[in-house]
Amino acid sequence: KTRTIKIEDIHAQAEAFEDAGKILRGGGLVAFPTETVYGLGADGFNAEACADIYRAKGRPSDNPLILHVADRKMVDSAAIVTPLAEKILAAFCPGPVTMILPKRDAVPDSITGGLGTVGVRMPDNDIARAMIRAAGVPVAAPSANISGRPSPTTAEIVAEDMDGRIPLIIDGGPCRFGVESTIIDCTGDTAVILRPGAVTREMLEEICGSVALDPALVGADTVPKAPGMKYTHYAPKAPLTLIHGAPEKLEKAFAEEIQREQEKGNTVGIIVSEELSEKLGQIVPKELIAVYGPRGDYYEIAAHLYEALRFFDNKKADVLFGEATEEDGLGLAVMNRFRKSAGGRVMFV
């Protein structure tokens, strides 16, 4: 049976963190909040405990885990900090960023997929860091979803996927950003973004000068350097197609696609901005419209995207259409996840 502890006051609930620390040190799993998404944690130096993460998620074993740390000393215990990583630590940590670094021997090969490198992340969430401190070791944690599903941004959504599979969920309320951390390869002289996130390319360029994107992110037919980026991901249960176009063209394009599907007898759901939802309210019933936020407000959209993708789980939608965003700033991370959830299907109008 899974227990959930809601944290109302981090200082008054020391026993919650003691419980979590004890479970983690004993080789057990604890789901916990971060500023990006909820993580499914285990002692990062305990290969057997980490093997349970793969089992609980149904995660392919070649997909490495990242280590969550509470402070600089823990970074050094897990990885060798390169000059580039020093800059990123100073500018963005704690924060929504994961640095890929040469690993230390303490990190089991079974959690790095044998890569020789390890992802290290210092979350900007007091509950997460208090839990890591209570564990006393770096905490290995992927997102706390069943493999392939959208990442959880609330404790309730964690429970949908993990109930009965883990002993404890720490509930810290909804996550601030809603998309996973920016993964940056820091092993060389130039920062390479392997997965976009809330530390944007533009923000990194100010600190590190030139910044590269993993070619696989921009459509090149290459194997992504972050192994997890090659999998189908975030997929809703009905097939999703994105529609990209200027705002004044979207209403007509959506209406045509929706009507075409409805004529075939299909029930259509849409994942759209507030603006477009108002225009399509006549042809799509309310319970089949997931609104991700105001058009162009990437912070709101990122924070609600995964919930929107799960919105249709218990509904009988046969096909889904989504409104694509632009790709500047945090829009790059939003569209990276949205495009994956659509299996790459994007229509341009």
Q: Where on the chain is the footprint of ligand TXA (CB under 6 A)?
A: 34, 36-37, 39, 63-66, 98, 100, 112, 115, 117-119, 121, 123, 141-143, 180-181, 183, 194, 225-229
| Dihedral angle over CA of 32, 37, 41, 43, nearest 10 | -110
Is 143 one of the binding residues for Mg ion (CB under 5 A)?
yes
Nearest CB to ligand TXA, comparing residues 64 and 196: 64
Q: Tell me if 151 is assigned to a ligand binding site.
A: yes
Taking CB within 5 to 8 Å according to partner kind, which of ligand TXA, Mg ion, none is near residue 317?
none
> What is the rounded CA–CA span in Å between residue 337 and residue 147?
14
Q: Tell me if 34 is assigned to a ligand binding site.
A: no
Q: Tell me if 59 is assigned to a ligand binding site.
A: yes
Nearest CB to Mg ion, comparing residues 65 and 88: 65
Nearest CB to ligand TXA, comparing residues 196 and 322: 196
Which residue has its beta carbon closest to Mg ion? 143
> What is the rounded CA–CA span in Å between residue 3 and residue 170?
9
DSSP state of 103: B
User: Rg of the chain's alpha carbons, rounded to an integer?
Assistant: 20
* Terminal CA-CA length for the chain: 50
Taking CB within 5 to 8 Å according to partner kind, which of Mg ion, ligand TXA, none is near residue 108?
none
Q: Tell me if 147 is assigned to a ligand binding site.
A: no
Q: Tell me if 143 is assigned to a ligand binding site.
A: yes
Secondary structure (3-state) at 279:
helix
**Contact between residue 205 and residue 88 where contact means Cβ atoms under 8 Å apart:** no
> What is the rounded CA–CA span in Å between residue 39 and residue 27?
16
Is 154 one of the binding residues for Mg ion (CB under 5 A)?
no
Buried b / exposed e along 62-99 (16+ C-beta atoms within 10 A): ebbbbbbbbeeebbebbbebbebbebbbeebbbbbbbb
Question: Cα–chain-centroid distance for residue 245?
Answer: 26
Return the closest-CA partner of residue 260 out of 321, 346, 211, 177.
Answer: 321
Taking CB within 5 to 8 Å according to partner kind, which of ligand TXA, Mg ion, none is near residue 331?
none
CB of 58 to ligand TXA, least distance (A): 13
CB of 34 to ligand TXA, least distance (A): 5
Q: Tell me if 3 is assigned to a ligand binding site.
A: no
Nearest CB to ligand TXA, comparing residues 41 and 269: 41
Residues tagged in the binding site annotation: 36, 59, 63, 68, 117, 121, 141, 143, 151, 181, 195, 234
- Residues making up the binding site for L-threonine: 36, 68, 121, 141, 181
Which residues contribute to the site for Mg ion (CB under 5 A)?
Answer: 143
